[in-house]
Amino acid sequence: MTKYYKSSIHSFYPDIQKTSITKIMSEDLIRKEIETNKNEYIEFLRRLIQTESYNPPGNEKNVAIVIEDYLKNQNINFEVFPFEENRANVLIYLKSKFNDKNLLYNAHMDVVPPGNEEDWKYPPLSAYLKRKKLIFGRGSSDMKAALAAMVISLKILKKLNLKLSGNLIVNAVADEETGGKLGTKWCLENVLKTKNIKSNFIIVGEPSGLAPLPKAIIIGEKGHLLLKIITHGKSAHSMVPDMGINAIYMMSKIIENLSSLDNFIPNIEPPFSLIELKNLVSSAFPSNEIFEKIFDEQPLLQNFLASLTKFTKSLNVINGGIKGNIIPDHCEAIMDFRLLPGQSSKIILEGLKKLITHIGFKVKELSEDIDIDSFVSIEVYEEGAASVWKDYENSDEIKEFKKIVEDIYGKKSFFALAPGSTDSHYYRNSGYCLKTIHFGPGKAADMHAINESIEIEDFLNSILVYTLFAYQFLK
Ligand SMILES: [Zn+2]
């Protein structure tokens, strides 16, 4: 076989350098390998989807066992880091040494719970295969397809035994759906940094399809902060209302003043203006005119791009009161803040405390032992930092990656920001590796949705993208 390629390439392209011939041959081998084994890859993905790893509680160890079984007898380095009852992180790598360039692929093994299973057309753990085109199931898009594709890309490079100078690492992590502290963050601090493994480029496999737009390459993301604000008043019978302090009225005063929160936090410029974002997206369209026409007709796209340029807040849950004739002493509200790169949760939290103090309430920790009739406490209940790789334009690696994506998917791609945070921020913000992008099979609209599915073509394309890029990067 090898001989045949060599002679045919030589006779067709007599002036091609030997290195290019090796490159064309190797790429050809990779494409043929994927074409030959695609049924095996689809079955591996289906097995991953059928393996329960709902988080909470996690159960990612179930997934780790399936991956280990898939890679057995391949002479691939596989390390498991178990924790809690049935959870684990996994590090898989091509070569045993890390002395040259390293490329890191990150995929999470946990998935969000399915909600009401009755609402699903096909059971969430069925991995139902529809017309050889789609696979349904929880985690099919977010993100067992990318997890499978990344593991498969490593297996292919090992099997083909191509000459590579660097190392490919796949970090399959736990805990992403609940913040990533026990997954990506733990692996970064306790495995990668401890073993002194540096990464020169990182791909996080979160779905990057922004249909109806073509596939995006994400270079930064907004952060989020979910807060619970609790007003503590004084209970009394409502026939003598002046005896009590109404916690709902306190909350209502806070809500009235929320719009002035911006006066209490430092002003920050977005990483890209709306015009710059529009230019990034329009580069994937045949012409600017066509893009402008679509943009004008699509309120979703307009709002999506606008949201990437500003700090936003939304009050989404409110609870208070116990009975029609009792002055409530307790009211709580849950707020969702979306942060721009450069804005930390701490800045928002401090701004909010200043605002509440400014309107006349005392802010106090629940644990603080001060005897006062009424006060406000704030609990952080979920957070994910914003991050961006601002200088991406000067990287040849990302240009090469975009070229591969466009070649495989047969469409122009574009760089963009994501509206929500992924594990990428741990790599970018810690200074471990700023060159972190997120790219993966699946559509953002499918994430956490009922009847989540993945297109098989998208999945197979992503295997090709990850494998060809790793080959290019490490050869
Ligand atoms: Zn995800």
69 part of the active site: no
CA gap 406, 284 in Å, rounded: 10
DSSP one-letter string for 223-289: EEEEEEEEEE-B-EETTSGGGSB-HHHHHHHHHHHGGGGGGGS-----SS-HHHHHHHHHTTSS-HH
Q: What are phi and psi of 269, to 5 degrees?
A: -85, 140
Looking at CATH, the fold of the domain delimited by 223-272+310-384 is given as Alpha-Beta Plaits (3.30.70)
Out of 33, 110, 175, 455, pick the active-site residue. Answer: 110
Q: Summarize pLDDT for 114-139 with one digit per residue, the tens.
A: 999 999 999 999 999 999 999 999 99
pLDDT for residue 1 is more than 50: no
Between the CA of 227 and the centroid of ligand 1 the distance, in Å, is 22
Confidence of residue 5 (pLDDT cuts 50, 70, 90): very low
Residues 6 or more apart whose Cβ sits within 8 Å of residue 65: none
- Predicted structure pTM score: 0.90
CA gap 417, 412 in Å, rounded: 17
Between the CA of 34 and the centroid of ligand 1 the distance, in Å, is 25
Where do the structural domains in the chain lie, given as residue ranges?
A: 2-221+386-474, 223-272+310-384, 273-307
User: Which pLDDT value is given to residue 451?
Assistant: 96
User: Which pLDDT value is given to residue 16?
Assistant: 54
Q: Tell me the residue length of the chain.
A: 475
Contact 54, 176 (CB under 8 A): no
Three-class SS state of 382: strand
Neighbours of ion ligand 1 (CB under 5 A): 142-143, 206
Out of 33, 142, 175, 176, pick the active-site residue. Answer: 176
Token pair, residue 78, equals 């596989």
Between the CA of 413 and the centroid of ligand 1 the distance, in Å, is 21
CA gap 450, 207 in Å, rounded: 16
Between the CA of 139 and the centroid of ligand 1 the distance, in Å, is 8
CA gap 206, 40 in Å, rounded: 22
Read off the pLDDT of each residue in 324-332 and give the average, rounded to a whole number. 97
- Among the listed ranges 83-92, 209-218, 275-284, which one has the minimum average pLDDT value? 209-218
Between the CA of 235 and the centroid of ligand 1 the distance, in Å, is 44
Rounded percentage of the chain residues whose pLDDT exceeds 70:
96
Between the CA of 225 and the centroid of ligand 1 the distance, in Å, is 17
User: Which pLDDT value is given to residue 21?
Assistant: 78
User: Which pLDDT value is given to residue 211?
Assistant: 80
Q: Summarize pLDDT for 250-305 with one digit per residue, the tens.
A: 999 999 999 999 999 999 999 999 999 999 999 999 999 999 999 999 898 899 99
Residue 376 sits at the vertex; the CA angle it makes with 372 and 379, to the nearest 5 degrees, is 130
176 part of the active site: yes
What dotted CATH number matches 2-221+386-474?
3.40.630.10
